[in-house]
Structure 1
Amino acid sequence: MSELANIPWNLILPIIFLQFVLMVVALVDVIRHKRANGPVVMWILIIVFVNLLGPILYFIFGRRQA
């Protein structure tokens, strides 16, 4: 338990918050538009399980431009 007290939370919490916001925005986008480069289920799994990089990959490669 003492290891948790030594973690610099003021540096880690913004990254966790950014990851959460990106994940929610990407999931809402992929579910709302239902058009992506590739299967929608694949992009949902990438967004959820590839943490910070998954939503970024979706916005760069997965979103189909209209």
Structure 2
Amino acid sequence: MNDYIEYLPFLIPLIILEIALALTALVHVLRHPHYRFGNRVLWVLVVMFIQILGPVVYFAFGRGEE
């Protein structure tokens, strides 16, 4: 258990970043009806279950034109 405590200064900002990215991407997926690839269900699954890379992939490739 003591081994994990020394990594907390690195892990806490990483966890906060992951949650913020996931929430931002999820809100965007739910509010906007147009996507370059796939549909709403696909992007919700990608954003929620593929940790940090899911939201990054959505913002890079899935987000449609406004």
> Shared fold by TM > 0.5?
yes
Cα distance in structure 2, aligned partners of 1:53 and 1:20:
12
Cα distance in structure 1, aligned partners of 2:12 and 2:33:
31
Structure 1: 5+ residue runs without aligned partners?
none
Residue 35 of structure 1, CA deviation: 1.6
Verify: 1:44 aligned to 2:41, yes or no. Answer: no
Contact persistence 2:34–2:65 (CA under 8 A):
no
Matching residue of 1:55: 55
Structure 2: 5+ residue runs without aligned partners?
none
Candidates 3, 7, 13, aligned match of 1:6: 3
Q: TM (normalized to structure 1)?
A: 0.88
Give every structure 1 segment of 4 or more consecutive aligned residues whose post-TM-superposition deviation is greater than 3 Å.
none
Residue 36 of structure 1, CA deviation: 1.3
How many residue pairs get aligned? The number is: 63
Per-residue CA deviation, residues 3-60 of structure 1 (Å, 9 max, x unaligned), is 2x32110111111100000000000001011221211100000000000000000000
3-state secondary structure, aligned to 1:6: helix
For the aligned residue pairs, the C-alpha RMSD in angstroms reads 0.9
Cα distance in structure 2, aligned partners of 1:12 and 1:51:
14
Identity, in percent, stands at 37
